[in-house]
Every structure is written in C-alpha cells, then in structure tokens.
Amino acid sequence: MREFNIGPAFAFADPGRKVIEADGVEVGVFKVDGEFYAYQNICPHNGGPACQGKMIYKVEELIAEHGVSKGLVFSKTQLNVTCPWHGYEFDIRSGRHQGDGSVRLAAVKVRVESGDVIVTMPAPGL
Ligand code: FES
C-alpha cells in the first residue's frame, strides 16, 4: 500500500469528490461537512464505478400520526452516492447500501495531515 497526497483539504468542494487512480486501482474520495471518506471505486453489486455516480441526498418519507404518508422529502443530513450502472445508493459516511446495510463499498484509509488529504491506496487486486 502506498500513500498519496492529493492536495489541500480546503481545495475540496464540500460536499465534493475526487476519483483518483494508481496502479490500476481507483478510489473515490469524498468530503462531507468537513470530513473525508474514501472507498474503492467498485460497486459491490456488479463492479460498476459507484464513486462516480450522482451525489444526492437520501429520499425519505414523512410519516404523520396514524401512519399516514405526508410525502417524500430529501434528507438534510444523509448524502448518498448513486452507482451509475444500476442505481444502488450508498451512504457516503458509511459506505452502506440504503436497503441492505450488509452491502457496502470497500473503505479506504484517508486522513488530513498538515492541511493535505492523504490517501492510503489499496494494493492492486485487493
Ligand atoms: S454495478 Fe453498481 S448498481 Fe449495479
């Protein structure tokens, strides 16, 4: 595994994302509310480039008393990334799929050191 400095943390949009590649391994690096998260750019469904899909706030249903639906709204806190191949949505903060929490993106180590974002790239084939 090798570490890569991918630039100053302040230069990332928030929310924002960069997809980086080294030795054939792609990693999506996300910034949400000032925190960084990183995942291998491989969808657990069928191998699509999950980290390159649309970033969209989770759709939630408002339920009133007596179980009556008041319609759908976007979450104000949970931001998802949507795999462009078949639409699986993953919580950017956890990497977990919306419908089945056991399905998740493979996490990659990322940290901010001296103001720069450092990613520990997984070895090829992992
Ligand atoms: S490969 Fe990502 S949803 Fe199918």
- Single out the residue of 15, 11, 19, 7 nearest to residue 108, CA to CA: 19
Q: What is the mean pLDDT of residues 78-88?
A: 97
Q: What is the mean pLDDT of residues 108-116?
A: 98
pLDDT of residue 126: 61
CA of 121 to the centre of ligand 1 (A): 22
The answer to whether residue 79 sits within a structural domain is yes
The answer to whether residue 115 sits within a structural domain is yes
The two structure tokens encoding residue 125: 């084939």
Please determine, for residue 123, whether its predicted confidence score (pLDDT) is greater than 90.
no
The answer to whether residue 75 sits within a structural domain is yes
Q: Could you tell me the pTM of the whole model?
A: 0.92
Residue whose CA lies nearest to ligand 1 atom number 3: 86
Range of the domain at 45: 2-121
Please determine, for residue 1, whether its predicted confidence score (pLDDT) is greater than 80.
no
CA of 65 to the centre of ligand 1 (A): 36
pLDDT of residue 111: 98
Name residues contacting ligand 1 (CB within 6 A): 43, 45-48, 50, 83, 85-88
The answer to whether residue 126 sits within a structural domain is no
Give the pLDDT confidence of 14-63 residue by residue, as tens digits: 999 999 998 899 999 999 999 999 999 999 999 999 999 999 999 999 99
The domain total for the chain is: 1
The answer to whether residue 68 sits within a structural domain is yes
pLDDT of residue 124: 82
CATH number, domain with residue 58? 2.102.10.10
CA of 116 to the centre of ligand 1 (A): 31
The answer to whether residue 17 sits within a structural domain is yes
Virtual CA dihedral for 102, 47, 27, 109, nearest 10 degrees?
Answer: 30
Q: Name the more confident of 91 and 101.
A: 91
